[in-house]
Structure formats: C-alpha cells, structure tokens
Amino acid sequence: MSITVQVGLLSGKTATVEASLDEEVGTSKRRAQAALGVGAGWLVNSSGSVLDVHSTILDAGIQHGDSLTLHIYRVQIQTSSVSCASILGDGSVVTWGDPSCGGDSSAVQEQLKNVQQIQTTQQAFAAIVGDGSVVTWGAAAHGGDTGAAQHQLKTVKHIQASTASFAAVLGDESVATWGHAHYGGDSSAVQHQLKNVQQIQATRSAFAAILADGSVVTWGDADRGGDSSAVQHQLKNVQQIQATRSAFAALLADGSVVSWGAAFCGGDSNAVQEQLKNVQQIQATQNAFAAIVGDGSVVTWGAAEDGGDSGAVQHQLKDVQQIQATCRAFAAVLGHGTVVVWGAARFGGDSSAVQGKLKNVQQIQTTDRAFAAILDDGSVVTWGHARFGGDSSAVKDQLKTVQQIQAAGRAFAAILADGSVVTWGDADNGGGSSAVQYQLRLWVFAAGRFARVIGLPRGRGFIAGSYCRSTGQLEQAHGASAIRKELDDDYQVVSGFIEKPGLLRVEHEVPEVLSRGQVFLDAATGLGGKVELPASLGGQVRFHGPKGTECWRVLEWGFDPFTPGAPPKCEEALPPETTVPAADEARHSIRLPDSDRAETTDNRLN
C-alpha cells in the first residue's frame, strides 16, 4: 500500500512524495531531496521529532496526507589535539587521527546515529545523539568513559570540555560532569548551585557556568579559574565568558569585564580596566585576552609575548570586526577585509609573507600555531608554522568554494560547497583525512583474488546525493562533465588477483586506468604505491597510492597480502570471537596454494 505525504523546506518550498508503508524512511527522504533539489537533511514530523531513516514508514507512524519538514544540514567537524570527528549528512560520524585519542570510533559506531553535536577534550570525544543521550570514545581518563554519569545523561542540551573532562547541560538546566576530577570532572562541591544553567565555559582545568540570573558558578582547579570567590560580588548580569588556559574573563551587560584565575594568563585585568568599557567581543590565546570595544579598537592584557601587548600594531587596529587566536598570537579582521596580526611570530604572529593576499577575508580559523583565512572567492590563505597547517600549498588546487574551516591542534579541515572535506597539516594528527574521504569502501582478499570498492557516502556529492535511475538522468540533472569528474575523482572499483604476496594484478577497473594484467601494486619495486602495515592487529593499513594516502582499518587479518615473501598465515591472527560489522555481511575466504595444507583465512579492510 502506498501513501502520499507533503515534504517542505523551511523556505516554504514543498514537494509531494509517494511512499510505500514497508519502505524505509531514508528511501522516502532521498526521494524528497531529489524532488526539492537539495542535499541531505533531517526529516522531521509535525511534532518536531527527527524520524529514524532506518524505520519503515509504517513503524514511524507516517500517515497519508501528513506534512513533514526536511531540515538541511551541512557536514560538521570537531577536533581534539590529535584527532578529528566529522558528522556526515546522514547523522553518522567518521573519525581520523590518533586512534588512542578518539581517532578510532569503531567500538561505538553503531551508537553514532542521528548525531546532533560533538565536543572534545584533548584525547576524547562526546556526541549528543537524537534522543538526547551521549556517546563517548577515546581515552577513558580524558572523558572517553562517562562512568557514573551515564544514568544522568538524558535530554542533554549542550556539552563543554576542559583538557580532560566534560560538563553537560541537561534538559532541566542542571549539569552532569565526568572525566578527570582535577580538570573539572567532579562538580559535587557545587552541584546544589548548578540550577538554571544557561551556558558553560572552560579553561584547561576548570569550568564556569552562567546561570539564568546572570551569576556564575565555578569548579575545578582553584588556581586556574575554579575559584571565583575574590570577584564573586562583581559577577552579576554576566552575558558571556571567555577563557585562556588558566583564567576567565566575563563580559557583563554594561560592557565591562571581570577576570579571575592565574594572573600571568590574563586573570588580572586591573592595568586596562578603565579601557574595558562598551566591550563587544573577547578572544583569547593560551595566556592573553583581546577585547573589541565599541569604537572598533582593541584592548589586550595578559602575557605580552602571547598577544597581551598589541602596542606595535595598535595604530592599525581600527574598525575591527572579529578576532581569532592561535596558542600565542592574535589575528584581527578589519572592516575592509584586511588582517592585522600580533603575538609570537612562530605561532602566526607574523603574516608578512602572505599579507598581500589577505584581502576580502571572510573568516579565520586556527590550529595551535597557524592561521587559515577564507577569502570571498572561496579560496584560502594560510600562514604560521608549516607543520601545524601554515603551509597549504599541497592542497591549494583543491581549496576552492570553501564554506567552512575547522581545526585540530596541528591540522585544518575545510568543507567545500559540495560537502567534501580537504585537510592539511600534520597527517598523523588530523591532517590526513583520506581515511574518511571515501567513507563507503571495502577491500577484500579472498581465494587468491582481491576486490576494492570505493565511493562517496549516501547524501554526499551529485551521485550519492541524488535519486536517479541512471547515469543519463544524473548527467541531465547536473551536467555530463560534472558527473564524469565525480566518477573519476571519487569512485573506484578494482578486481584482480594476488600473483604472490606483495604483487597484485588488475583484471577489471572502473573507471579504467589500468588494463587487464597490469600491476596494481608491486611492493618490492614500489610500482603502484607503498604500503605501511599496522604495528598491531586492529590498527590501520596506510596505502600511499597515486591519489595520496589512504588509511584502511583492519576488520579481519588472516594473512599478509602486501609484504613480499610473507608467510601464508599471520602468526597473530584475530581471535575466533572477532566479529565484523553488520554492514560487512558476507564472509570471504582464501585457500593459499603455497601452504602445506589448506588454510582458510580472509582479510577485510575498510
């Protein structure tokens, strides 16, 4: 039985969609996206609930004539010091970077559905999912394990993070904390005060919560902002709080500022207090604050070498629109789109090499030691420490139509207009996102053969983001050249055979680059690329191929097909109880011809 529903956008545009009661909501959603000519989004019913894309139309309670709303969303990225996590168009999450610090989310992947927000400590992530609960992963001591707080984490509205702990604002405006106690993971001493909480800010080891009446409650390391008793009488009508690594600065309703915490990190603003009037915005490096005041000028305080002294450029700081900061330097965007920087040169405080390019700047983002500016034409200009993302020359040609930039401590990630992601900086700490650029992928070795399938995830790009019956329809909708380019750039299917360990030959490839019988990979000579094997099982295989570095997570590892002269079966095979994700339904096996007896093993990477 089929029904008809109306699906509308917030703009008012609507489309009529026909759906079968036994089909998944996700199928109808993709049909609606095609009809409305938009990308992926949340499908929401009349009561405001997000519909599960895996439920059937019948189970979701959708009836004939219902009106649904499609909320369009973009790819979102959150970053720890050495790892990145991205919320994709379907609400799932992919991660890359240091596996021990949140770069590997495989243990909780099945729980990461309909993700609304991600927050991060230095070595762990926490995600709010559609039902308001929280999923965590990464280093347990840094908040990767919610522990005793798990039963409280319901109807979570927002999460904030210090270096090693999380604080969540719940639906009743109370607070739940977890992680390292010294870093604010234990709020028991002030729990009775944490009512009607509106927002939370954090230093590296303390939290500050603004309540509905404009007062402030603090906890954590007392010397680094966790004790506000000396200024508590001044903390009234607080509108916003900003933080360095060890101090807080609160912006009050009258435009004045109150600061506390470690004096050397900006906790003492007495020297500039008379200038801190009609303050519009406050930004912070790790040891200094910078405030934009009403006339567009800037007031700074804290460690001079870390941006607390702007005297050398003060005459240029006029009509300032926004300020961003690395660990030890500031960058201000002026009204006409130029940029003024100050602070430690090796942390981005010197932009002289690119100053001529810094025109019509729209937005700036930072790593620990580098800046990246988006210009009005969608291109990007970078400066600062090269290894921290200050040199983007390797991906310059890809950095076009950039919509947004996010950053880890040592790497940048740019989201382009088509939803794809370009990264640069330290490859081991988030700068190499090839592990997720082709998120839907599988590389299987079986029966002396291999098959490798790569493509964009559902909702990404023209092909996976459209509902069309054929390539011809796609070309009509988006243009033949655009479709062909996406097929060439983002899709690959290769099948072939293992001539011997370390030597793989092609039988079929689409798009065709190599002909039948040609070498796909010869590890002995380096033809076709280079392979780095993981130090231990459960790690990643890095394939440095023609299109750059790819990271493949090992699902099963029964033998080594990459190393010349490798034994037919690994000494350390995965234990028998190891399971494969549900998406990888079929088991594959290999019978090794050079073994003394038939061995049945299989390899699966994704």
Decide which of 493 and 142 is more confident. Answer: 142
User: Which of these ranges, 77-81, 148-152, 456-460, has the smallest mean pLDDT?
Assistant: 456-460
pLDDT at 230: 96
Percent of the chain with pLDDT over 70: 83
Q: Whole-angstrom Cα distance, residue 106 to residue 103? A: 9
For residue 483, name the pLDDT band (cuts at 50, 70, 90): confident
Tell me what percent of the chain is helix, strand and coil, each rounded to the nearest 5. Answer: 20, 40, 45
pLDDT for residue 457: 61
pTM: 0.60
Say what the pLDDT of residue 543 is. 80
pLDDT band for position 342 (50/70/90)? very high
Q: What is the mean pLDDT of the chain?
A: 83
pLDDT tens digits for 221-245? 999 999 999 999 999 999 999 999 9
pLDDT at 587 over 50: no
The tens digit of pLDDT for each residue in 533-581 reads 865 544 567 787 776 667 676 666 777 888 898 765 443 333 333 333 3
- 452-474 in b/e burial notation, b at 16+ Cβ within 10 A? bbbbbbbbbbbbbbbebeeeeeb
The three-state (H, E, C) secondary structure of 522-572, written as one string: ECCCCECCEEECCCCCCCEEEEEECCEEEEEEEEEECCCCCCCCCCCCCCC
Please tell me the predicted confidence (pLDDT) of residue 440.
Answer: 52
Query: Does residue 604 surpass a pLDDT of 70?
Result: no
pLDDT of residue 180: 95
Q: Which domains does the chain have, with CATH numbers?
A: 2-71 (3.10.20.90), 443-554 (no CATH)
> Residue 588 has what pLDDT?
29
Task: Give the strand order in the sheet containing 175-179.
Answer: 156-161, 165-170, 175-179
Q: How far is CA 387 from CA 67, 130, 392, 410, in A?
A: 51, 37, 10, 7
Most confident of 79-83, 408-412, 571-575, 590-594: 408-412
Pair 176, 186: CB distance under 8 Å: no
Alpha-carbon dihedral sign for residues 27, 469, 422, 489: positive
151-193 pLDDT, tens digit each: 999 899 999 999 999 999 999 999 999 999 999 999 999 999 9
Among 233-247, 325-339, 422-436, the range scoring the smallest mean pLDDT is 422-436
Using the structure block, give the residue that is written with the tokens 């004045």. 256
Mean pLDDT across the stretch 273-302?
Answer: 96
Return the pLDDT at 459. Answer: 56
> What pLDDT is stored for residue 394 in this prediction?
85
Higher pLDDT, residue 114 or 271: 271
Residue 590 has pLDDT above 50, yes or no: no
Q: Which pLDDT does position 547 carry in this prediction? A: 63
